Structure 1
Amino acid sequence: MHDLIKMPFLVRDDCTDNWTWNKRDKSHEVRLYGRQGFTAHFHPNWSNGTAGVRGTRILNYGKHYWEIKISQRIFGTSMMFGIGTQRARLHVDAFVNMLGEDGQSWGLSHKGLLWHNGKWRQYTKPFKENEATTVGLLFDWNQGTLTYFKDGLSLGVAFTGLNKIEDDLYPIVCSTAAKTEMSLGLRKRSYFNLQDRCRAVILSKLRGENELDNLPLPNRVKYFLKDAMVH
């Protein structure tokens, strides 16, 4: 039976994570909009293939949770949410399940199918077309698992053994459907170490980068603090 899990308890002892979609690591058929480019817009004119975008966060440590808010335009061959290495493709001129097409990525399609290494299996019911929804992903590096949530409801562990992957892993989304959108929502992660925890406390007291620039701190410390801000 699926459990409704409150978000603050997904990643215990956590902090807000400020990664976003990577404007330099995406298909030419993806446009980034909104505050800090949180919204990925796929195939702005028409679609003749599959387009994806990678996130800026490397996932190979601790726990990470992030949400993807999908607009009511849910349709087409494949809209997918998952993770992959730097070698996972972000564009192909064909309508395919690009996440999970090979050993470099792992993905869930809006049709309820899990894909990896070119193989699929049924995981959940197909998403209702033309109905907005929120997909959550919980990546646990220590356990090597990726778990999906749909509108706050856990769908169970989807993939295992991910902590055996030696390459860096990143969040990825892709879509074959024209004029579809996916926006980043809540993002949380566990701390790297005590230094990381201290940085999070300092940043929680600041209102922005300008306020940080005015602090009487060495430049090296300022760079360290800014590295955790949205960029």
Structure 2
Amino acid sequence: MAPEPPLASVRSRENSVQNDDTANTEDHQNNFDSEETLRRNDIHCRLGWLWNQDDSSKEVCVTDEGGCKTGVTFHPHWSNGTAGIRSSQPLLGDYNYWEIHVGNRVFGTSLMFGVSTRQARLHANEFKNMLGEDAQGWGLSHRGRVYHRGESHLYCKPFQEYTVVVVGVLLDRVRGHLSFFKDGQNLGVAFTGLDLVADDLYPTVCSTAAKTAMTVGRRQRSFIDLQDRCRHAIATSISSNISAPDTEKEAVDKLPLPSKMKLYILEVWNN
């Protein structure tokens, strides 16, 4: 069994959330600093990471939308437990932001959003808050509570049931913060200490509700290094000068570059 990652604390807001749906001033400033860093290191992967059908509960179906595995449906027939799924790739870079578009079937015990390591389980034969039940996950429930190591605290107001919602997730591995957004509203820092986690972290979602649909939308991360930035500049130039995605490989093949460099550029569309 893999050792547990270091403790990441849960930011308790039991008192403040009764009067306000936002974090305190310090939390907001931390989030704004992270967002500003993302803007300065702007990168938008046209495909980005996708959902991994092979790393999910059997009660999750990945939907292929335009050739991209960005949509998932939980418990497509009926639900008798909790199902989850992780992304196809671990999060890279110091700053990551992504959005999950949730359909109107927001109800039941728990819909959850956050990150996990590969050791976190993705299925339970019971209705529970699975993401964050142990040290391998950090999750926000639609009921407004955040979970890690089996502990929970009230973080924001519960989501309105049977109403579509967009949940944003911001991972700042420099400060070690994990924050959430609801319909564009900054909810503040939910967890700290993630800069101490050595394991790869993967975007993860879970649901206990039948026929819940979620689709990953915007995915953004900061550059890893100058080589990564240069690769993205080349890929962006190629994308803006071709008529269809299936010609990307053809365009890269025509570049006067060694084969390994061509493969490195093509990874932009595969991650």
TM interval, shorter chain, is: over 0.9
1:11 aligns with 2:38: yes
Cα deviation code 1:181-219 (max 9, x no counterpart): 110111110000000000000110123333223434322
SS in 2 for 1:206: helix
Corresponding residue pairs, total: 230
Structure 1 residue runs without a partner (length 5+): none
The CA distance in 2 between the partners of 1:102 and 1:212, in whole Å, is: 44
Cα deviation code 1:24-59 (max 9, x no counterpart): 211111111123110011111111111111113323
Describe how 1:17-166 pairs up with structure 2 within 5 A. Answer: 17=45, 18-33=48-63, 34-35=65-66, 36-59=68-91, 61-166=93-198
The CA distance in 2 between the partners of 1:57 and 1:15, in whole Å, is: 17
The CA distance in 1 between the partners of 2:207 and 2:253, in whole Å, is: 40
1:168 aligns with 2:171: no
The CA distance in 2 between the partners of 1:210 and 1:223, in whole Å, is: 12
Q: Which residue of 2 aligns with 1:200?
A: 232
Q: Hey, which of these two has a bigger chunk of strand by percent?
A: 1
The CA distance in 2 between the partners of 1:88 and 1:63, in whole Å, is: 22
The CA distance in 1 between the partners of 2:85 and 2:147, in whole Å, is: 17
Q: Hey, which of these two has a bigger chunk of helix by percent?
A: 2
Higher Cα Rg: structure 1 or 2?
A: 2
1:10 deviates by: 6.3
TM-score (norm 1): 0.93
- Give the % identical residues: 47
TM-score (norm 2): 0.80
The alignment yields a C-alpha RMSD, in angstroms, of: 1.9
Cα deviation code 1:123-161 (max 9, x no counterpart): 001100111010001100010000100011000000000
Change beyond 3 A, Cα 1:213–1:24: farther
